[in-house]
Structure 1
């Protein structure tokens, strides 16, 4: 599945948005408390990738999976993902371990 659209949720202090855009991905950004309507407005139903950088918003992952069967879910954060979402994650990585350009390349390759 080619990734052309992504939603990045949470603060992007590590630059994953820029890395994805450098790979040609159209990225919608969400910050703050994220709701289902906000996800829908950001284009989550059409997106192929959801990247969460704020694990305090982990409840969005089950919502995203409910809205789209074919989306890849990623947590890109130094904090651990809560147990209740781990089964729905495709990929979780600490920014200290992999820089955003490498993560973007891996997600798109």
Structure 2
């Protein structure tokens, strides 16, 4: 499975996803150019780790309407992005290893 992890990744979720055997691309700032360069068109899961970059969800969906969007960050997702997110997880509730196992 192709996974893009976008954001600062303070919870360090990219490594457990990689350890589960998934192809992980990590980007710090998610915009149209960085998402295209990371291969969003062929990505199965877009995992956002910063609520401040919530607008990138719409950009990811524009590039790949079928991408599954997972938000793994503290705080509240802005209302405009909630309709496009498939799953929102608070890192205080599930550790990165548990989320990585459930992505498949």
> Aligning the two structures, in what range does the TM-score lie when normalised by the shorter sequence?
over 0.9
1:20 equivalent to 2:17? Answer yes
TM-superposition CA deviations, 1:53-73 (whole Å, max 9, x none): 011111000111111122100
CA RMSD of aligned residues (A): 0.9
Partner of 1:48: 44
Q: Is contact 2:51-2:74 (8 Å) kept? A: no
Is there any run of 5+ residues in structure 1 with no aligned partner, and where? none
Aligned counterpart for 1:71 among listed residues 67, 71, 83: 67
Runs ≥4 residues deviating over 2 A = none
1:61-100 alignment runs, 5 A limit: 61-100=57-96
Structure 2: runs of 5 or more not aligned: none
Q: What is the alpha-carbon distance in structure 2 between the residues aligned to residue 17 and residue 64 of structure 1?
A: 18
Aligned: 1:8 with 2:11: no
Q: How many residues align?
A: 104
Deviation per CA, 1:36-55: give whole Å up to 9, x if none.
01100011111100000011
TM-score (norm 1): 0.91
